[in-house]
Structure 1
């Protein structure tokens, strides 16, 4: 039940991201067309697009945490036993929770400080800009706590204990290295001569 609610919530976030991107495209492209064609423009285009970009970034980070889309390397963790993977996962999540708390505290303080500050173009409260960090911290903290509880209660499989994804370049490099190793092994096995193990006759002086 809880996983279903989380999935629906993340789909809602993805919908908000798509809408925000659509608004950004309309604002930026429309502003360019108006400037070059009609010597005019959308006054709020730059400011609103910048705010939407920040919100899209933090909302996308929430869905990335849910999907375990962290970029990293599993060179060490993947070779550890199950208990070692669990220890690394718990330590990593505790560190992420601490950093999330620091991010929440800083964003909350900035939102309170700028509550009565108006943006120069839209006139909206600048606290909306910093609230993106608050929203990210709350959502990310909840997901991290949930993943940590699942790890401590043994609800994660061995594959789920490694919660990072290699970058595309790293994955392609490893695939290329594996292919070269297979070709080298195949070529080495075929390069032996049938007479390679036959002792040569002693030469006469």
Structure 2
């Protein structure tokens, strides 16, 4: 099961890269074409916006898996174990609630988005905003997994504070290897 999840997130990372490359090509290519040839890529504005929407939502799912979202843990780290558990439960329950709201909101807008066609590209807008379904479900599954492990006592002490220092993230550079003045 873990291999399937890892593969899913590798595919998401690939989609983020492709969306970013697509945005750069569309925007940069359009600027060059407009400046040099007084023409442009017709779909560039719409497609770069759609790529940005997908990049943002997919990036949010990846960041949630890596616990890379911003958080303030100054107070929580000083609490006793029971306080940390209560804060984690409240945090995960609130995020789960927001994900449910996000799914419901996407569902309520579904009919409008299916019938709404983008003016230049000509695709149904559900292909753009339907990513809300995927994001809400994936992030809710993460919330449920943490809540399950919390309620069954399967979380270690260090997992009770879900904020990870930026230096501890997998993609962070080792200290001292940044850009030098």
Q: Is 2:115 aligned against 1:113?
A: no
Per the alignment, residue 173 of structure 1 pairs with none
Within-5 A mapping of 1:94-105? 94-105=93-104
TM-score (norm 2): 0.86
Per-residue CA distance 1:174-200 (angstroms, 9 max, x = gap): xxxxxxxxxxxxxxxxxxxxxxxxxxx
* Structure whose alpha-carbon radius of gyration is higher: 1
TM-score (norm 1): 0.77
Q: How far is 1:32 from its partner?
A: 0.8
Per-residue CA distance 1:50-100 (angstroms, 9 max, x = gap): 011011100010011111112111111101121221111111111111111
Indicate conservation of the 8 Å contact 2:89/2:147, yes or no: yes
Q: How far is 1:167 from its partner?
A: 7.0
Q: Is 2:142 aligned against 1:137?
A: no
Distance 1:3 1:81, change over 3 A: farther
Q: How far is 1:10 from its partner?
A: 1.3
Q: Secondary structure at the match of 1:18?
A: helix
Indicate conservation of the 8 Å contact 1:100/1:137, yes or no: yes
What stretches of structure 1 of length at least 5 have no aligned partner?
169-205
Q: How far is 1:49 from its partner?
A: 0.5
Q: Secondary structure at the match of 2:28?
A: helix
Deviates most, 74-83 or 49-58: 74-83
Superposed CA RMSD in Å reads 1.5
Within-5 A mapping of 1:1-205? 2-165=1-164
Indicate conservation of the 8 Å contact 1:107/1:134, yes or no: yes
Distance 1:72 1:166, change over 3 A: farther
Indicate conservation of the 8 Å contact 1:118/1:125, yes or no: yes
Indicate conservation of the 8 Å contact 1:111/1:126, yes or no: no
Aligned counterparts of 1:157 and 1:138: Cα–Cα separation in 2: 25
Q: Secondary structure at the match of 1:76?
A: helix
Per the alignment, residue 197 of structure 1 pairs with none
Indicate conservation of the 8 Å contact 1:103/1:133, yes or no: yes
